[in-house]
Amino acid sequence: MTIHTTTLDGTSPPLPLSPTLARALTAIGTIGALISTFVAWTWTTSFPGNLTVTGYPGGLQLITLTGAVLTTVYLIVGYGIRGLRWLAPAGTSGPVLYLALGTLGTTWYTLLAITVDLGGLANLEPGGYIAAATTLIAVIGALGLPTDSATDPRPSPNAPGPPSWYRLRRALASVPPQRAKPLPVWAEILAIAIAFGIGLYLFTYGIDTEYAELFLGYLILTSFGFAALNSAGLIARLTALTTKHHNIALAAAFVAAACFPFTQDNDTYTSVGAYILIFATVALGLNVVVGLAGLLDLGYVAFLGVGAYAAALVSGSPESSIGVHFPFWAAMLTGAAASLVFGVLIGAPTLRLRGDYLAIVTLGFGEIFRISMLNLNGTTGPDVTNGSMGIPNVPSLKIFGFDFGENHNILGYPIGPFGNYYLLMLLVTAFVVLVFRRAAESRIGRAWVAIREDETAATAMGINGFRLKLLAFALGATLAGLAGTVQAHVTTTVTPEQYQFAGPVPPNSAFLLAAVILGGMGTLSGPIIGAALLYLIPAKLDFMADYQLLLFGLALILLMRFRPEGLVADRRKQLEFHETGQLDVPDQDRLPGQGIGITKAEA
């Protein structure tokens, strides 16, 4: 046997691992890993999840079992069974490799955790050794699978040997789907509904994990699973469906999100969901500034603080220096208006700057806001914000007699206070999504994108750059202030420490900016996904708090290396960050006489 290695030019010298042998090894390893989950991995219940039972899997064994089942499914799809090929329009060798790697990573992490936590390899039972060996065999076999013609970079699709490590480097690279027979409209809508239903289940399972080891195993398999689906072309196909039925996809997304509180028995994890929505809404507002207009704002969290402080001062808190009690709709308008005013006041004198200079000024504004809130304590300044004590005891919301601070039964399901605020925040998020979508698709949104790409060229074409940048800055600040009004009531206390540039607990400016970049700048769903990941992962992996920033930095480095356009990227970013060969090999769909990059569909 020979091992395939990939050179820098994308070619791969032949490996003497026949396709038949590679498939056999992959199947043997995958089935062996599946069987090993029904055998005890350790003899003691000291390790969480009870991996001592023979006969049925538990804990992290379920994650390994899921990875083995998915790998088997894509192995079967690779044989071209009619009706299943829709799951892998771009081929199956890449998905099999990534799923095998995900199963290997989860299994070996579990065995390593048992060894370290319990004090040695003596704590492993035969099932653990079988799982380690079979998952490794599956990966070796997957590395030798023949390359699919859809993803083969070589001139001849019949060239021997798969570019195994080339596929590994393409783990998060976008793969265009193959042409396929279109589905009926009802089937497309059903596929969208099923996709969001699966997304709700995965999110609920991840947030409900009882211990950090289980969540980390879930995270490993989910990450490789995303890479597998992307390599299979299924993500691109689902994206095309959601683009075609945009309104239905948005409705399905919000229906799935609204169902989350009804899957919870208490507020333990519903609170995490409420804070994720607050974080995601603020990230969408920042996406207007950074993603659409291209303005690097490092002090954006201050606008969230302005809205929160304004709402706390007028919402009837006994510690408020104003002593007024507005209804919620008036408090929300007050917070949004205060952030709008600050956005205009800060943006008007500073938005004539560009690049690093603008970033430094906005960073200074964020620190000035935090320090000002500390000094308005009645000693070093007027008594407005109570200094470091903040404004505590913000009363719960009451809208049309509905008290958000009490337990309620909705449709027969008990919903706690955080569940109530989650549903309210979901409505706010829906409004922000509507504003962002309408703004991005408008003439002003296209002007923002033009300024982001080249402000000088945009100005030469007659665009008033300063006015439109100020409009983006003001809109982003208003959306942040809107979210801040709800945050003040959810947290019940507003303090200056909540609004820093960087800190251990989001939201802060660094995490907000990272959420936009991680999810995908200028996209609608990207910042929401990025915010959910950046809030959920630290909340579930609190035992790694001391290394949180280190791991966060490593994750960003890997993301910038393998997928610089973000997890959710538009067509423009994909063309910008990945070589597509469009300038070298014209597309056969290109219209005669049209410029480079214009296809029939685009025309």
| DSSP helix/strand/coil, 346 | helix
Tokens of residue 343, six digits: 């956005």
Contact predicate 199/191, CB 8 Å: no
Give which of 509, 506, 186 is closest to 359, Cα–Cα: 509
Residue 408 sits at φ, ψ, to 5 deg, of -140, 160
How far is residue 104 from each of residues 33, 132, 210, 523, 554, measured CA to CA in Å? 9, 7, 22, 33, 21
Beta-carbon contacts of 319 under 8 Å, excluding residues fewer than 6 positions away, are: 386, 389, 391, 392, 393
pLDDT at 133: 95
Distance (Å, whole) CA 215 – CA 206: 6
Helix (H) or strand (E) holding 410: strand 408-410
pLDDT at 138: 93
Distance (Å, whole) CA 189 – CA 183: 10
Tokens of residue 344, six digits: 């205009």
Tokens of residue 198, six digits: 């699966």
Cα-trace Rg, the chain: 26
Query: H helices then E strands: how many in the chain?
Result: 21, 4
| DSSP helix/strand/coil, 124 | strand
pLDDT at 29: 94
Distance (Å, whole) CA 268 – CA 272: 8
pLDDT at 576: 63
Per-residue pLDDT tens over the stretch 94-150 = 899 999 999 999 999 999 999 988 888 888 989 999 999 999 999 999 888 877 643
Extract the residue ranges of the chain whose pLDDT is less than 70: 1-17, 80-83, 148-181, 503-506, 543-545, 571-603
| DSSP helix/strand/coil, 459 | helix
Half-sphere exposure of residue 379: CA atoms within 13 angstroms, side-chain side: 6
Residue 36 sits at φ, ψ, to 5 deg, of -65, -25
Distance (Å, whole) CA 72 – CA 68: 6
Q: How remote is the C-alpha of 401 from its chain's centroid?
A: 36
State the DSSP code for 288: I
pLDDT at 166: 43
Place of tokens 């999100």: 257
Distance (Å, whole) CA 158 – CA 155: 9
Give which of 582, 546, 577, 545 is closest to 559, Cα–Cα: 577
pLDDT at 474: 92
Between the CA atoms of 307, 308, 310 and 315, what dihedral angle is there, to the nearest 10 degrees? 130
| DSSP helix/strand/coil, 398 | strand
Q: Give per-residue burial for 211-238: e unless 16+ CB within 10 Å, then b.
A: eebbbbbbbbbbbbbbbbbbbbbbbbbb
pLDDT at 306: 92
Tokens of residue 325, six digits: 């009690």
Return the beta strands (E) in 295-363 as ranges: none
State the DSSP code for 181: P
Sorted by where each begins, the domain ranges of the chain are 19-152+167-243, 268-539, 571-603
pLDDT at 574: 66
Contact predicate 463/456, CB 8 Å: no
Q: 268-539: which CATH topology? A: ABC transporter involved in vitamin B12 uptake, BtuC (1.10.3470)
Tokens of residue 31, six digits: 């089935």
